Structure 1
Amino acid sequence: MRGTAVIAAARAKLRPTGNHVTGYLAVCAAGTLIGTSLVVGAGASGTRPKLADVGAWLTSSAKGEVVHAHGLTGEVDGRAALPAGMAGHPVSVAQDGRTTLVLDERTGRVVRIDAAQLTAAQSTDYGAAGLQLVSGGAYAYVVDPVRGTVQRIDPALTTAESRPVQLGGKPGAAVVDGEGTLWVPLPDSGTVVPFVDGLKGAAVKVADAGHDLTLTVAGGRPVVTDGTAAATKVLSATGVRGAFDLGAAVAGADPADVLVPGGTEGSAVPVLAARTGDLVVVDVHSRHTVRVRVPTAGHVLGAPQLLGTRVYLPDETTGRLLVYDTAASALADPVPITDGPGELELFVRDGLLWVNDPDGAAAAVIDSDGEVRRIGKYGTAAPSARKPGDEPVEDGVPTGAPVEQVPPGAAVPGATAPGPGTPSVGASGGPSAGASGPPGPTPPAPEPGAPGAPQAESRSGAIRITFAEALGATPQRYVLKGAGPDQTVTPDEVGPDGPFVFEVRGGSCEKQYSFTVVAEYGGGRPDKESARSALARPCVAPGAPRNVTFTPDQGGHGGTVTWRAPQDAGSVTYTINGPGGTAETTEHSHAYSGLRNGIVRGVAVMARNAAGSGPAASGWIDLTPTAQQMNIVNNKPNGRDLGIRTKPHSTEGGRAGSIPPGENPEVTVHCNMRGEEITIGGKTTDVWARLTYYDPLIDKNITGYVTDLFVETRSNPDVWECE
């Protein structure tokens, strides 16, 4: 699937795990709306519209239809009416680039939208409320949280392709990654179940039983956030490939208040503790972590979405998007979407953020520069499948506003509105033009203001602090407070023109630090101190260990796995996943014993510090015996050939071949094993050598067993025991 970040956040009253997110994710996650490139079916009539390549389908539940909007203009370029009876029902849309599916969440009916004809083509009723519809790659799935099942369906016909598969627990919101693998969380058991190529795989243990789990697809990779343990982990079908600590602020939050999007286009995942406003952005590729606090008190928020340098927080109390600009380290103007409280659905697709009110006419699309375009979902000009003379669905509904930049809205919670007497600003940037007359009184000098709340970014050996300059009067300088005695701050001070950045080096990775910025004004004016930053560590999760190798013990049955530390690792603990389970060590090696010879097993090593564990490095424990070249001995010219047996026994089995009497040729010895006890010439042994002898008379290799009295492999430590 082209881009796996087509996501909407799930709503608390719907989401099986109880997290407060907005709607089920639909593409790459169960959701309520999907944006993607639309592929128009072959054979479409020339009179039918060709929908925009950069666009999204948006739901209009109250009207019982879905509309397609152009991503670059915001114009609606197509609409499709849903079957009778679906109007007013909550619906979700899933699109994988080839098919567009709509789920009636109240009845369980799945409908396919014909993009060429703009009609609801096929449908199948799965007869249950609260289902999840998930689509990606070559497959589509219906997930039943009540029955605990996953059923694969035909995305073109909407009919079932398999019987429901039992998951062994109640699932949370599922996603599909960039490889087309379905991932289903089972919070009750602390596991995530993958479906590779449509088939159920082994569950991956990610948390303790009962932990709150939310899945995200970040840059095509599955990531699980454990809201109970405040950790984010990168997954693969073989296990956890890296983990990141979200910090004390998230750890102290109610797991139900830890909000995560169902997907992001890049490798950064925003995590919001909604009650406290602690926002953490974890880059699962670079391992950098940004922490900041935003004012959220008294507001019902949905899961954050990340586009470019901005994090968007849907505020369903006001119908706006709160915006935090990580580049400016400050809140930006909020984006109004609806006229009042209501549900907002968000997802990022093809470098655009889509926002939709599923129960009303409001929608918008935002580009990476922050430019906002309104979408009038109820406009009458968009093509549909209705024939001339039919009553339009939109009859009597006002047309949406034209495409334009959305004006700034009211201040975000906690911000100060302009006071009385603040001069208005005209188009030129000066005071608004008005009636001529004498100038008014000189406005008072601006008051000293506090800098914006600092943003803390964890780096290797350091914490980077950025902040927004103080509003009002211009300070003489800015200084940083909060550094410990074992930390150094660079620079000592920041001038009034910036750059508004400090770097704090040193400190312990085991500790978390918080800082404030003080604006010093001088001249008898009071200094002003910012709010505290979120807690951060002077470290990032380590990288992958290097050069994982295995050295077998003499005789096999075990050996030692060794590796080199990651670059800039510092003090770390290593987790080794291999035969027998998981082990931990602070050394650069781990020994195995008691293993079977003749096997090859995988081993993975991850490095961990207080910030989390980095990606795993893999290797192989290869206990395949190495063949040895040896000579037959004691084969006397007594007229009796030396038999090569099919079993390590003188009578059981049979002969695979023989070596002529008096000849002691070179043979390839593979291993030895216990068999029948044999006594010859006063010597006794129950060891038999498994070997290969080239018989020149028949020009053929013969493999079988010869008693060790004629090979003496017991004296060669490089000959291993067979299994």
Structure 2
Amino acid sequence: MNRRRTAIGLAIIGCVAAALLTGIDMSPAAQVRLRTGALWLASNQTGELTLVSGGAATVAAKVQVAPAGTSIESGQLSDTGYALNRNDGSITRIDPATRRPLRSTISAPGATHLLAGDRTVYAVNPDRGTVTGFDPARLTPTTSGMPSAVGESLLDGRGHVWTLDRSNGSLIWFDTGTRHSRRSAGTPGRSALAMVDGKPVIADAGRQVIESVNPDSGDVESGMHWAATDSGEIAVTGSAGRVSISAGDRFTSCDLGAQRCADPIGLGGRLGPAVVVGTRAIVPDHQSGQVTIIDLSGMRVVGTKRLFDRPVRFELREHDGFVFYNDPDSAQAGVLDVNGSVTPITKYDSPTKGPDATVIAGEVAKSGQEPGTGTRPGPGPVAGPQTGLPGPGRPGDPAGLSIAVSPQAFGLVGDQLRFSLRGADVPADTAQWTFGDAGRATGAQVTHSWNNPGTFQVRAALGSLVAQTSVVIDRPGAKPEIATLDFSPARPVIGQRVRFTAGLRGGVAEHGIWTISGHGDPITMTTKDIGTLEYAFPASGQYTVTVTTTSAGQSASRSVDLPVRAGRVTAWTGLDTVPEQGLPPEVAGGVVAISSGSAHDLALKADGSVYAWGENGHGETSVPDAARRDVVAIAAGDLHNLALSSNGVVTAWGQGPEGQVPAQAQTQVKAIAAGSGFSVVLKADGTTMSWGRNNRVNSPNANGPETDFDHVIAIAAGVDFYLALKSDGTLVGKGRAPVENQPDSGIVSLSSGGFSTMGTGRDGSVHAWGRYSIPEGQNVRSAVATANNGKAYVAILADGSWACWGPQRCVAPAVRHPLAVSGRYTHLLVID
């Protein structure tokens, strides 16, 4: 077959994951360590460390490290967990393979802070100003009570301890056990230390400067002005090339390279140190129990999320690109992403366990905490609808298991709420329920009420499957409140139904009124389901949606702004910016996804219909009736196509057997891909199946799943290969699958076309295999979508710009903030 005809351009087929890791490592390695995305969190009431999986958003293990009621600080080095017992100063190490604890024989009395470095684990007493070092494997002491400084300590990129003395402003650091100091490095009580790219930086509100410190001499390397306005203490976070500063109730971020600080944003409350992931900062407010998500590129608030219903000094930590929150003094924890998606986690049901108990994954249910699955957090801004994503159910949930709450997921103390288990393929009358208190129930439908106010995690276990949701219970007479107002999809187009969800609390609302303004006269609607609204916008532009609820004469309102895009398809060659002419008018708006074959293209419209154009020698553009409604994903092969409906049913058309669907591939499918002479589906149980004329790729048993392809979360196809992305971030493939030297950071989304493959890492970095690798010096950081047509390779970056490379001079189109991209040999397509 002519290679020009078989070069496939595939629209993005990926899986969203709550994760941002740094670095591109294309070099081969003898041993590849896969980052697990799991973090050990402290549970003081039970005296345990709880291992929480960031990808699955579940409890993976629990290990007893101290008596119940002990104050614990957790730390982590790679996959090894450490716990500092603040009562007696001992350290416990948890083996990453066996999950068995090892306790130090020597303690560091008074230590309250733990620093885990590659060569040494340190216990810090910030009040007495001493540091004690331990061997990270054996926990034998390496240094004993070194005098440091009264203040919080940090590790630099070489594992050296740095402390800024809050009593006198001296900078103290240790180099291979030798103590160094520089007097008056910061204003006492008005300065804070951070690490930026592994090097120390001092933010001094008293002198209104930010100074970068030479890690060898401790001297100032460079400085910049910072117009500090708050007179209280500050909290500083370092990230790539910048520091983010929480000062009282105000937040700002300073770019060290540009020598510029943004104007501060007033957030209110009592702010703690931010967590920075890519271009997003997540700022905790310990007074309100919420976080604010800020886009650092434009210094604008993009969302707020209430994590706790009370003031609490909760932990906010990033590990392997996932962001975790935790209240060490309660069972509440969870995983969140930079788009604001939150998955709450209950670390334990009740603090009744005794000392020296170990619970590991697979045995968790024996102690009352069932393993489960949650919504998988995503990697930041996503470039629109992606054609390989599952339609129904939640990503990562093999059965689409979910909990329905009636009349709503909030109420007052004493109210009866009804819970129903949905999506189960087996009888649900044996489902076991817990409600975040002492209550339990069995059955497919159950009711429950609470005696106290709070946020409660409701979980239903059906065999190995677990579904969970959260409910908010308030005191009778509480004022109505709208804590959050979210919408999905995040970047809608004309005609696409947008679902708005209001996080209601307080008194039971009598009615809800929604107002949509932005074009023409405002539209007002009253919904039966007070907390939700579905609406399709008829025109592109900026809109404001406001919801108002009333209870007992008291009202509450909340608004959200959102842009609605045209959903217009534009084509260009990749070698110049001149748009290709002659695209059908049907793709001039309202398109949510695109996919390209050898000489034809597909578009998925906002109304769920598929439109095809191009050559039709084998029926490629003759769309069947089954693909003209309720479609959620599309995939164009060489001379055939696939469409996935919201009910998991696959439709195929075009040339050969690949244009037909075997019985076992017709239903319970959550992703599709197509190549040259073959088709692939990802089933709801995490297995894959391929069929067609391409003997390099198709399944040995066309009526059954592939062997050794399990726990798959995404698929992508090229000319004569297909790839499967597994839940641990590794790639496996069939045919000529170019996936050697996989990065140890793991992959979260795929794009394959022709004879090349691109995978997006957890921080949006792009890794390429096959005919053309990424040129040295090419900026592809924070990529959210990729495509190629054999001549031009493009990546959409998170800030809306493009990266473009290839064997010839590659040119990106004049389209900002595109929604999706695809390509075939003659051209590339983009949705804007």
Higher-RCO chain (CA-CA 8 Å, sequence separation at least 6): 2
TM bin (shorter chain): 0.3 to 0.5
| Larger Rg computed on CA atoms | 1
Return the TM-score normalized by structure 2: 0.40
Return the TM-score normalized by structure 1: 0.45
Structure with the bigger percentage of strand? 2
